[in-house]
Every structure is written in structure tokens, then in C-alpha cells.
């Protein structure tokens, strides 16, 4: 296909050719502080803001010229250039060749007999928009031994190129054809697990497995827990998840890396590993990550040693050395650069837009742009007018706003990446203020945005004021500071086109699938650091929506100081994927401890066999590797984690068994062991702080950075029991006072300093857990500790998973009394409530404050809620909501209708839980 050089003025021409029917905002009641003399444009903006929180607005038709914004986006002008000719929008669409379809190649239809997929599964894919596959997907699937599961597979394709579909087909085909087999899909982030869970459940709806007997594990389940064996059961496993399913209950387990490794360990110990048929490792490049990604290598190496005929499938968009990875896994490998939607890439610098066909061209462009010499042969294809508004004096901000507004005006979606949470919110506010009012008040779209705002408003955390103001103008932000529910609502609204511009941190690039017509990077730094080539590729790869856009565009808006560094970044190759099982990264210690603890390898010969199945074996000198393994085994023995008997067999100690069972690293296991040993000697039982401290993970960096003045305030408010815990765990109140009066941070150079800092962080986080378990809503805890509410929610989820690990740790160590105390408080942690509300908190949407309101209004258990009329629950739900602004009658009625739907879900769920509880009691009695 001939490459077409594309100008930047296409969307501008579209905007200029279109006319928008706009409506007046008239007769709106405003509070006095919103009224400004001789500033009618400010009045209009305030009316829109009032509208976003539900004030009544009456609209009438008005011409475009009648609308004024507080700020206006600058105009983007096509620069005259003889070499770069402008190509009209319709010509750009026609110049993109459509990929071949089933009519040209029957193998591009999933219904083809070669794939052997059930008709229902093929129809489900079609209902989700997958009517055919790409040629590369067909070639990959039809490789020798791939569909039958005889061969492992490693493949790489660009973001948006259709990687996941290949893995989905392989997984589901294996499950359908062999009902005794299970599948594990490994994803790096909880958000991805949750998104994939929803997707796969839609894909397998109504799909039946081949007829087969109940597995042994399934036959041992109680009757009330046995699902219909012919359906495909999909469940998610991640830290803090409340799934009622166990490993024996599911066919497809979608897991985070840690949970997947734990499942493999458990299946190996229980000798059920042969039930596992296929493991898919998404984002395989994360093996290089020495924090958690290396567990993929640990897990895959164990499966290779077991030789249990488990098919391993690894994929990523940023793999460069697929050959070495394929050699390690004994796999076939496949590389493709195919993207279904072509992406045009641009550099934006000092008010000018430059087209970049290759990174080499970018490097030359950047070098000349930053040079003092006159530019030669480098001309922009577009220029952006300088702004008169003080908020847009910065060329980067001006460019971002102009590009985003142009995209929205043309009817497409724009995705802006910013360097941090505050930058996201500031940019979202800026774009929303510059959004043409004619676009913001279309009746149909306004109604949908109001519905989204209503959904946000009905959440337990209430409505974020900034999000309310931007949402009504078609702009939203997405970052870790929002709760999961808020992020889901924002993402869904953007995906449906209700909002046109979403501003996000770089975590969105790898976190969830939200492609856009135009991706705009506000600078090359995410935080203080320059982004890496892999992250840059993922962000730019979000440009282009298959089925919605014919092309995608990526704009990197660059500061002068970063120009040459960005040039070098784009010139650089993607980093090679390397093993993290090295001494300096500590991965080898956990790898060896796990295989010994689960009795996969206990003699030196077996350990060497395991090491030979690692990626490290293929990349490290043999002599150095042998020396490293010997030194690591010696260190594990010195730490008391393993012993060596007279026959030369390594044996896991009770401590190492507890460490592996609770998903801890060897270092964390030793630390936790010391903490719990002290607790056994003098556990503070006349209060709750000691248990909350025990539930706080050993490492929570980033989520619980200490605000020392707040720490001091909370310390002063501790009761006698809390003060004894403070002293018992080794915290000096004088140190907290000194830190509160200083701007310094705790030193962390020596091992003792690291231990002290860890103890302080754990206790500070435990203070937040205490408030959550005492029914303080997330948004109030966030306000109290001056952290984003999304951080509080994430901390609670992480602590739930860690608490489950601590219970297993105590169980393996034989500390029954401590285990019982932790189990009781673990239920409270999950519920976010006191003990009397634990039964109510099992019901969806009834947690923490909501559960307490239910209790106070007479609904004190599952039975009372299950027998309730949903209409009677609406006033109760209203009482449980944070304080709301007053709405007009129509908006209030809509809001009550949403609460009624929620009440119906609550009653239905309570019915199912009550019935299950009754069935359990009947089965126990019988």
C-alpha cells in the first residue's frame, strides 16, 4: 500500500463546513456570587456548571455567534508547503485499504471448520463486533500444533492489532473440547482483570462444553455449589476480590500475576496441576519487572518442569527478542506489525506541527528544531495561533487544548495523556472551558451526560465537583485518584461517545482499552521522569478505533528542554526482555524457595533441572549461574527458610511454607514472622489497632506516604490501647513529633532504617484501615488523611488480599488463636463495617455507611432485605448518600428511578444469598 503524506488541516475543514444547532440557556436561577456585570460569557459558563449539578435549564435556539466561552481554543492553520500536499478527509478515508475479508479468504471467518469453534461461540464473537479475523491472526492460529495445544506460542503485535483474540480462541477451544481442563489468563493489573472478566463472560454466554463426566474435584463440592457442568465458568482472582468461586469451581481463571502463581503452587501441592490445560501470559515483557512481573517466569518455569502438557501462550506489544523467549518456552513464535487502523504521528513544537513518518525523521527534525542553525528542508504542515488567554500562553497547553477541541468538534474522541493526577484535572478543566458551547448543549447528548452525572452522584463517595463541571461539556479525567466505580463510569461514557475528551495518566495506556481517534501527549514526561520507549508505544498505540475510525493520529507536544531527549527516545529500540531471577534483583531466592516448598524440586539435580527451564539459563554464563544458585541456597539455609538433611535433600521449614502459602517474598516472610512472633508474646486485644497493623502489607510505598502532621494528630487521638500498640511495634512518638516539625523524610540507607520506615508506613496505613472498618466512608477517610479517595480504596483492596495471606501464614505456622482473631477482623475489613453488619455487607451496594443506615431502619439481615419492597428501600438509600445539591423536580425523579433500580438489584441479591444460606443449612443438617 502506498504511503500517503497527510496534512493536519482535515479536521479544521470539517469544523468549518459543519454548522451546529445550539440552544439558549435562559431563565436560569443563579446564586448571587455567579452574577458578574458586563460578563455575559461568564454567566453562560456558570449556567452550564449549574446545569451539571441538576439546576433547571430552559433552552431556545441561538446562532453560533451568540455563544461565548471564558477561553477559546486557538485556530489550527494548514501551512502552505509544496512538498506536503493537503489531502482532504474523504480522500484520506478512501486511501486506507480495507483488510481482506472472508469473501476473499474463507479462513478469515471463525466459523471455518479448521478452527473447530462452536456455532454459539462464533455468534457471540460476531455480536461483539468480531465478524472476521485478520490474516496474521489466521496464520498464527493455524501454525502447526497451535490449535491442538501441542505447541507453545509466543507472539507480538502492535497495540490494537488483535493480540487478545488469538489467546481467547485458543483458551476457549481447549475448554470446550476437553471439559476436564482449565485455563489461566494472567494479566498485570486488577483493572485489566475486571475488564477481561466482563468481556469473556459475554463471549461464553450460552456456549456449551463437550459432554463429559464431572471432575473429581467438582464431585466433591456440596450440591448447592455445583454449577451446571456444561457451561463455561469464568471467574476473576485478584487481591481483595470477593469471588465465591474456588479453583475447582471455574473453567477459566482470570488472574493477576501473584494470584496466578499462587494457583499453580496450590495445584502442584494438591496434585491437580494436570487439570490445567492452557496458561496465557499477557504483557509478557513484564518478566523484566523485578517487583512482580518476574513471577511470570517463576510460574512458567515450574510448568515446564512439570511437563504436564500445559500449553503456554505469551504475548505482548513490545517484545523485541521473541526468538529467545520462544527458545525458553519451547514455543513457536510469530511477529507482526499489522495495525488495522493506520496511525499518523506528529511532533508539536512551539506552535507548529511536524509530520513524522519514521523515528529517524523525528530525530533529524528535533535536532534541527533545537539547533541555532537555520532550519533546512523542515517545514511544519500546520501552525497553531498563539493564544491571548493567560491560561494558554504556554505553547504546549495551547496545542493540547486546540487539538482536543478540533477533534471533538469533528465528532471524534480525543485521549490526552498528562504527567500526573493534578495535571489531568487541570487540563480537563481547561479543555472543558474552551469547548464550544454549541457542542455542549445538544439536547440528546446533554441528557446522556446528565445520566452519567447522575450515576456518579449516586455512588457512595458522591459527585466530584471538578468532574461534574467538565463532564457536562464532554470532558472527563481518569486516574488512580478516582475510585474504581468512578473510573468505570467515565470509561464507559467515553467508549459510548457521551464524552469526547478524556484526560488520563500514562497508567491508562496499559490499564484499560480506550482507543481514540486522536492521542495527544502533553509533554514527554510522566511525573518527573521521561517515559520509556515501550510506554510511549503503548500510549501512541491507543490512536485509532477499529470499526469507528478509519485512521488514528498521535501528537507529541514537546517542551523545548525535552526536545532532543525525546528525539533520542523515539530513535531508541525497545528494551530487550531479560530475566529478573538474578541475585541483585532477588528473584532467584523466591524461585528456589517456592519449588522447594511445594516439593517440586528438593534434590540438587531436580533444582538444576528447574533452573535449566528458566529464561535466566538461556542468558547467563553457566558457571556464574551455578555459583549464584549455590550461594542462594546457602543464604536460604542461613535465614532458616530451608534445611538440608543427611541424604542431600532440601526441605522447607515451617516458616518457608507459611511464606509461600501467603504469597510473600522471602524477605517479607522473615519480616512478618518477626512481627507476628512479637505479637504472640503480647498481642493487644483490648483494641483494634494491632490487628489493623497486622493486616497492612509489608510494602505499601506510594499508597501510604506519610503526612507527618496528620500522623501526629492521629497519634494524639489514640486511646490507651492504641498507644500501647504504637509502643509495642517500635514507634517512638518523639520521632513523629520531630518529623512533623521537619520537611525531611525518614532515612532508608541501612537495614535498620529501612525496617523503621516500614513500621511507620504500616502503622500510618493501619490508621486508615481502622476508620474504614468503623464505617467511615471512603471519601471522608480520603479527606481526613488528605489523599485521593482512589488511593484509600486501593489500599483497602490490597490489605484485604494481604489479610487473607496473613490468615494462611498463621494457619501454616499453627497459630490458631491468632488466626481466629484475624479471620474475624478480615470479614470486617471486607465489609468496611462493624461486626453486627457483616451479614448485610454481603449484599451488593450495601457496605459500610449504607449497611449501617439499613440496620438503623429495621433491615438487619438478609431475610429482612430479601422480603422488602424495592420502593421502600429508596428512602433508605437516599439517607445513605453523601449530602447532595438540590435538584429540580425532573432531575430528582430521574435520580429516584436510578435508586429504585439499585434497590431492585439489592433485593434480588439478598434473595439469592438467603436461599443459598438456607440450602447450606439444610445440607449440613442432612
Please enumerate in sequence order all residues whose Cβ is within 8 A of that of 1, keeping only pairs 6 or more positions apart, or say none: 97
* Phi (first) and psi of residue 47, to 5 degrees: -65, -40
End-to-end CA distance of the chain: 72
Q: Cell triple for residue 256?
A: 493477576
**Cell numbers representing residue 410 in the block:** 469533528
Residue 16 in this model has a pLDDT that exceeds 60? no
User: CA 892, 894, 898, 904: dihedral to nearest 10 degrees?
Assistant: 100
Q: What are 701's three cell numbers?
A: 510505598
pLDDT digits (tens, 9 = 90+) for 672-688: 999 898 888 888 888 88
Q: For helices 257-269 and 587-597, what crossing angle results, to 10°?
A: 30
- Domain spans in the chain, listed from the N-terminal domain onward: 10-72+79-95, 146-335, 343-571, 587-650, 666-832, 833-926
Cα separation, 22 vs 873, whole angstroms: 40
Only one residue has cell 503485535, namely: 157
Q: Which residue has the cell 534434590?
A: 603
CATH number among 1.10.3720.10, 3.40.50.970, 1.10.3380.20, 2.40.37.10, domain 666-832: 1.10.3380.20
What number of other Cβ atoms are within 10 A of residue 539's Cβ?
Answer: 24
> Are 365 and 356 contacting, i.e. CB atoms less than 8 angstroms apart?
yes
Residue 835 has pLDDT above 90, yes or no: no
- Residue 25 to residues 45, 61, 67, 399, 440: CA-CA distances in angstroms? 10, 9, 10, 30, 11
- The C-alpha angle 181, 188, 139, rounded to 5 degrees, equals 60
Cell numbers given for 647: 541424604
pLDDT of residue 45: 34
Between CA 31 and CA 54 the distance in angstroms is 14
Closest CA to 440 of 51, 168, 5, 31: 51
Q: What is the pLDDT of residue 372?
A: 58
3 state DSSP class of 693: helix
Q: What is the CATH number of domain 146-335?
A: 3.40.50.300
Q: What is the pLDDT of residues 841-898, one digit of tens each?
A: 888 888 788 888 888 888 888 889 988 998 999 888 888 877 655 666 777 787 788 8
Cβ neighbors of 734 (< 8 A, separation 6 or more) are: none
Q: Say how far apart CA 688 and CA 174 lie, in whole Å.
A: 48
Region 415-436: what's the mean pLDDT? 90
Measured CA distances, 754 to 35, 263, 413, 699 (Å): 56, 31, 46, 11
**Cα 665 vs. chain centroid, distance in angstroms?**
23
Residue 419 above 60 pLDDT? yes
> Could you tell me the fold of the domain covering 343-571?
Rossmann fold (3.40.50)
For 460-478, the three-class secondary structure string (H helix, E strand, C coil) is CCCCCHHHHHHHCCCEEEE
Nearest of 768, 777, 766, 771 to residue 851 by alpha carbon: 777
Fold: same for 343-571 and 666-832: no
Query: CA 326 to CA 253: how far, in whole Å?
Result: 24
The whole-angstrom distance between residue 924's C-alpha and the CA centroid of its chain comes to 40
Distance of alpha carbon 650 from alpha carbon 512, whole angstroms: 43
Q: How far is CA 165 from the centre of its chain?
A: 19
C-alpha cell at 586: 532477588
Task: Please give the model's pTM, rounded to 2 decimal places.
Answer: 0.82
Which pLDDT band holds residue 11 (cuts at 50, 70, 90)?
Answer: very low
Task: Encode pLDDT of 777-807 as tens digits.
Answer: 888 899 999 999 888 988 888 888 888 889 9
Residues 556, 346: contact at Cβ < 8 Å?
yes
Report pLDDT digits (tens) over 508-540.
656 567 778 899 998 877 767 778 777 888 788
What is the C-alpha to C-alpha distance for residues 912 and 844, in angstroms, rounded to an integer? 11
Amino acid at each position: 500500500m502506498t504511503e500517503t503524506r497527510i496534512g493536519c488541516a482535515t479536521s479544521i475543514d470539517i469544523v468549518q463546513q459543519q454548522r451546529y444547532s445550539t440552544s439558549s440557556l435562559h431563565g436560569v436561577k443563579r446564586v448571587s456570587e455567579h452574577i458578574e456585570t458586563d460578563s455575559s460569557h461568564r454567566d453562560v459558563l456558570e449556567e452550564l456548571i449549574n446545569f451539571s449539578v441538576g439546576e433547571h435549564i430552559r433552552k431556545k435556539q441561538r446562532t453560533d455567534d451568540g455563544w461565548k466561552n471564558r477561553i477559546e481554543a486557538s485556530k489550527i492553520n494548514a501551512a502552505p508547503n509544496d512538498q506536503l500536499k493537503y489531502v482532504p478527509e474523504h480522500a484520506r478515508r478512501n486511501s486506507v485499504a480495507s483488510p481482506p475479508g472472508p469473501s476473499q479468504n474463507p479462513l478469515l471467518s471463525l466459523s471455518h471448520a479448521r478452527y473447530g469453534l462452536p456455532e454459539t461461540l462464533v455468534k457471540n464473537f460476531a455480536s461483539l463486533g468480531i465478524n472476521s479475523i485478520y490474516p496474521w491472526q489466521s496464520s498464527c492460529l493455524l501454525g502447526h500444533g497451535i490449535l491442538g495445544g501441542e505447541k507453545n506460542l509466543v507472539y507480538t503485535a502492535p497495540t490494537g492489532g488483535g493480540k487478545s483474540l488469538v489467546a481467547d480462541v485458543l483458551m476457549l477451544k481447549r475448554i470446550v473440547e476437553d471439559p476436564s481442563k482449565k485455563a489461566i489468563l494472567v494479566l498485570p493489573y486488577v483493572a485489566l482483570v475486571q475488564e477481561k472478566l466482563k468481556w469473556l463472560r459475554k463471549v461464553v454466554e450460552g456456549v456449551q462444553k463437550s459432554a463429559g463426566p464431572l471432575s473429581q474435584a467438582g464431585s466433591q463440592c456440596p450440591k448447592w455449589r455445583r454449577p451446571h457442568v456444561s457451561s463455561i465458568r469464568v471467574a476473576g482472582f485478584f487481591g481483595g476480590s470477593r469471588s465465591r468461586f474456588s479453583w475447582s469451581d471455574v473453567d477459566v481463571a482470570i488472574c493477576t500475576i501473584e494470584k496466578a502463581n499462587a494457583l499453580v503452587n496450590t495445584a502442584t501441592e494438591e496434585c491437580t496441576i494436570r487439570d490445567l490445560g492452557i496458561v496465557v501470559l499477557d504483557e509478557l515483557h513484564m518478566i523484566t519487572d523485578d517487583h512482580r512481573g518476574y513471577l511470570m517466569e517463576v510460574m512458567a518455569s515450574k510448568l515446564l518442569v512439570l511437563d504436564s502438557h500445559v500449553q503456554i501462550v505469551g504475548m505482548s506489544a513490545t517484545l523485541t527478542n521473541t526468538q529467545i523467549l520462544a527458545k525458553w518456552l519451547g514455543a513457536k513464535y510469530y511477529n507482526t506489525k499489522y495495525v488495522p487502523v493506520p496511525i499518523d504521528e506528529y511532533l508539536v513544537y512551539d506552535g507548529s506541527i511536524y509530520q513524522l513518518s519514521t523515528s529517524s525523521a523525528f530525530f533529524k527534525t528535533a535536532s534541527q528544531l533545537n539547533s541555532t542553525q537555520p532550519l533546512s528542508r523542515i517545514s511544519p504542515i500546520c501552525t497553531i495561533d498563539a493564544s491571548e488567554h493567560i491560561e494558554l500562553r504556554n505553547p504546549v497547553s495551547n496545542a493540547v487544548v486546540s487539538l482536543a477541541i478540533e477533534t471533538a468538534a469533528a465528532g471524534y474522541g480525543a485521549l490526552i495523556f498528562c504527567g500526573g493526577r493534578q495535571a489531568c484535572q487541570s487540563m480537563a478543566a481547561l479543555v472543558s472551558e474552551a469547548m464550544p458551547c454549541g457542542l455542549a448543549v445538544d439536547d440528546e447528548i446533554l441528557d446522556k451526560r446528565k445520566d452519567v452525572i447522575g450515576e456518579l452522584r449516586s455512588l457512595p463517595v458522591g459527585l466530584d465537583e471538578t468532574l461534574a463541571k467538565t463532564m457536562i461539556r464532554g470532558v472527563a479525567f481518569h486516574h488512580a485518584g478516582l475510585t474504581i466505580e468512578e473510573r468505570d463510569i467515565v470509561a464507559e461514557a467515553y467508549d459510548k461517545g457521551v464524552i469526547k475528551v478524556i484526560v488520563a495518566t500514562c497508567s491508562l495506556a496499559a490499564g484499560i482499552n480506550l482507543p481514540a481517534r486522536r492521542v495527544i501527549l502533553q509533554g514527554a514526561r510522566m511525573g518527573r521522569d521521561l517515559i520509556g520507549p515501550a510506554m510511549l508505544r503503548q500510549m501512541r498505540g491507543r490512536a485509532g478505533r477499529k470499526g469507528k475510525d478509519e485512521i488514528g493520529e498521535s501528537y507529541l507536544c514537546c517542551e523545548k528542554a525535552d526536545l532532543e531527549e525525546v528525539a533520542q527516545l523515539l530513535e531508541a529500540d525497545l528494551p530487550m526482555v531479560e530475566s529478573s531471577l538474578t541475585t541483585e534483583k532477588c528473584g532467584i531466592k523466591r524461585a528456589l524457595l517456592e519449588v522447594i516448598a511445594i516439593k517440586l524440586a528438593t534434590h540438587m539435580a531436580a533444582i538444576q533441572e528447574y533452573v535449566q527451564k528458566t529464561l535466566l539459563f538461556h542468558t547467563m554464563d553457566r558457571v556464574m549461574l551455578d555459583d549464584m544458585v549455590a550461594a542462594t541456597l546457602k543464604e536460604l539455609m542461613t535465614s532458616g527458610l530451608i534445611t538440608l538433611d543427611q541424604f542431600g535433600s532440601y526441605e522447607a521449614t515451617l516458616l518457608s511454607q507459611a511464606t509461600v502459602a501467603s504469597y510473600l517474598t522471602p524477605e517479607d516472610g522473615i519480616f512478618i514472622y518477626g512481627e507476628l512472633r512479637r505479637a504472640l508474646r503480647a498481642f493487644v486485644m483490648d483494641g483494634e489497632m494491632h490487628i489493623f497493623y497486622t493486616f497492612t502489607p509489608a510494602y505499601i510505598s506510594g499508597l501510604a506516604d506519610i503526612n507527618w502532621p496528620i500522623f501526629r494528630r492521629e497519634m494524639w487521638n489514640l486511646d490507651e490501647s492504641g498507644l500501647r500498640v504504637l509502643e509495642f511495634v517500635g514507634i517512638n512518638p518523639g520521632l513523629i513529633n520531630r518529623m512533623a516539625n521537619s520537611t525531611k523524610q525518614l532515612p532508608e540507607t541501612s537495614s535498620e532504617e529501612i525496617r523503621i520506615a516500614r513500621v511507620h508506613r504500616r502503622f500510618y496505613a493501619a490508621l486508615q484501615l481502622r476508620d474504614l472498618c468503623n464505617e467511615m466512608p471512603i471519601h471522608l477517610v480520603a479527606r481526613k488523611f488528605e489523599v485521593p479517595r482512589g488511593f484509600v480504596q486501593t489500599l483497602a483492596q490490597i490489605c484485604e488480599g494481604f489479610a487473607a495471606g496473613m490468615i494462611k501464614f498463621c494457619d501454616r505456622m499453627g497459630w490458631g488463636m491468632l488466626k481466629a482473631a484475624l479471620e474475624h477482623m478480615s470479614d470486617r475489613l471486607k465489609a468496611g463495617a462493624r461486626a453486627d453488619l457483616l451479614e448485610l455487607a454481603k449484599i451488593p451496594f450495601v457496605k459500610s455507611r449504607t449497611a449501617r443506615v439499613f440496620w438503623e431502619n429495621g433491615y438487619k439481615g438478609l431475610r429482612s432485605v430479601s422480603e422488602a419492597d424495592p420502593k421502600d428501600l429508596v428512602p433508605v438509600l437516599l439517607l445513605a448518600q453523601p449530602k447532595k445539591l438540590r435538584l429540580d423536580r425532573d432531575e430528582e425523579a430521574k435520580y429516584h428511578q436510578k435508586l429504585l433500580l439499585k434497590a431492585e438489584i439489592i433485593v434480588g441479591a439478598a434473595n439469592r444469598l438467603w436461599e443459598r444460606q438456607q440450602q447450606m443449612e439444610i445440607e449440613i443438617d442432612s
